[in-house]
Amino acid sequence: MFSKILIANRGEIAIRVIRACKEMGIATVAVFSEADRDALHVSLADESYCIGPGPAQKSYLNMAAIVTVAKGCGAQAIHPGYGLLSENSTFAKLCEDNGIRFIGAPCEVMDRMGDKDAARRTMREAGVPVIPGCDLVPTLADARREAAAIGYPLLIKARAGGGGRGIRRVNVEGELEPAFYSAAAEAQSAFGDGALYMEKLLTHVKHIEMQLLCDAFGNVLCLGERDCSMQRKNQKILEESPAVCVTAELRAQLTAATVLAAKTVGYLGAGTIEYLLTQEGQFYFMEMNTRLQVEHPVTEMVTGVDLVKWQIRIASGQELTVRQEDVRMEDHAIECRINAEDPAHDFRPSCGTIRLLHVPGGPWVRFDTALYQGYTIPPFYDSMIAKLIVSARTRAEAIRKMQAALCEMVVEGVEHNAQTHIDLLCEPAFLDGTYTTDYLAKRNA
């Protein structure tokens, strides 16, 4: 087991990893930007080092600076959290070249599955159902030809990255040209890769993801599903587990496909396979996330398996002791992403100093955050400031528990979206579990 780990991230996920390390008896090292000098993860870690100015490009994405700190302080491994460098194979290779273990997927798997076009082909060859579509379309002429074969409506999607960037919906042929060029430009700007492919647009579908843990001994563990269908502009807002729409029979099919996918690519560590599920019960591979997910706590709450600790154990060479037959999903968990944004002004990001903070509590209520009273939220990073997670014996109880927890939460000093979540939890389509990925877009149209 490692004796010291550097956490190459910030905010609530850095704190989540620090806490797991402390419980395992592992010393922690934080890195921070000048804008994060007063951040909570800096004070919670055993050691902390400044690696650059506020913008992430000059600090948290500065690979050389992070590796230099890790070597200088004697860290044996680096945990990247999610986002930032978590799916950067160049960084993972740099770590390994410097004798530092990268707590994540192997470089070759990140490259293979991070290229969404290559991932589609890999899954198709393995026999995992993929969304009808085409491979890369280098030119507009190629896109027009393939679009005619696929049929409208369709989605243009970036080969690289994620987070909803580089995705455009095309309803009719006349929308194809501007969508093609704007998607390519956005993908190039966000990921340095403007390559695109296209898929048939499946409507009224569920976004279902399956959580994986894989060790170096060939063991593959699938920890059930999460329903991530409540989305705004392709961004997840709220997640729950298990999914109302997934029967025991369908869960077995999804588990088998997910295990097959993981074994096909030789996966290692924690990862997620994302699917689209039609109303007829047919599921299609969408993509693989070769990292920890923002919404991993709902799986932890339902199964009792600590994903971060297992990431660390697997990276250190330990074998999984949890078997598939041990996995139980007896409770129901819900996660709400609390963002510093103004719902009254198109969810514009909000910055400021936290004047008053009251964290909701009670049995089976979890509040993952880096906030504290007096903390000033800097303008350089993602707007998510907390994750509120609850679990209960039934879904109805979990909904009521989340409503109560949201009402109890107090964050003064910035605008936030707690009331939006309270409203969503009362929506008939959420209460009966029939909401789909296009639900909010249609409701707000």
Across residues 401-426, what is the average pLDDT?
97
What residue type is assigned to position 388 of the chain?
L
Across residues 388-398, what is the average pLDDT?
98
380 phi/psi in degrees, rounded to 5 = -95, -10
* pLDDT above 90 for 442: no
* pLDDT above 80 for 162: no
* pLDDT above 90 for 444: no
* Strands 235-241 and 332-339, sheet pairing: antiparallel
* pLDDT above 90 for 164: no
Q: Please report which confidence band the pLDDT of residue 191 belongs to, taking 50, 70 and 90 as the band edges.
A: confident
Q: Please report which confidence band the pLDDT of residue 321 belongs to, taking 50, 70 and 90 as the band edges.
A: very high
Q: In this predicted structure, which of 189-193, 212-216, 260-264 has the lowest mean pLDDT?
A: 189-193
Count of residues in the chain: 445
Across residues 241-267, what is the average pLDDT?
96
Q: Please report which confidence band the pLDDT of residue 188 belongs to, taking 50, 70 and 90 as the band edges.
A: very high
The DSSP code sequence of 70-127 is HHHHT-SEEE--SSTTTT-HHHHHHHHHTT-EESSS-HHHHHHHHSHHHHHHHHHHHT
Per residue in 99-157, pLDDT tens?
Answer: 999 999 999 999 988 888 888 889 998 899 999 999 899 999 999 999 999 999 999 99
- Rounded to whole angstroms, how far apart are CA atoms 331 and 398? 9
Q: In this predicted structure, which of 64-68, 117-121, 175-179, 201-205 has the lowest mean pLDDT?
A: 117-121
Per residue in 229-240, pLDDT tens?
Answer: 999 988 899 999
- Rounded to whole angstroms, how far apart are CA atoms 445 and 441? 6
Q: Which residues are catalytic?
A: 291
* pLDDT of 81: 97
Across residues 245-252, what is the average pLDDT?
96
* pLDDT of 234: 82
Nearest CA-CA partner of 424 in 409, 405, 408, 439: 439
The DSSP code sequence of 211-280 is EEEE-TTS-EEEEEEEEEEEEETTEEEEEEES-TT--HHHHHHHHHHHHHHHHHHT--EEEEEEEEE-TT
Domains of the chain: 4-103 (3.40.50.20), 132-200 (3.30.1490.20), 206-444 (3.30.470.20)
H/E element, 216: none
* pLDDT above 90 for 165: no
CB 418 within 8 A of CB 357: no
Per residue in 43-64, pLDDT tens?
Answer: 999 999 999 999 999 999 999 9
H/E element, 139: none
* pLDDT above 80 for 27: yes
- Rounded to whole angstroms, how far apart are CA atoms 239 and 301? 12
Structure tokens, 204: 């009224």
* pLDDT of 117: 81
Nearest CA-CA partner of 161 in 122, 116, 131: 116
* pLDDT above 80 for 385: yes
In the numeric block, the tokens 């964290």 are attached to 359
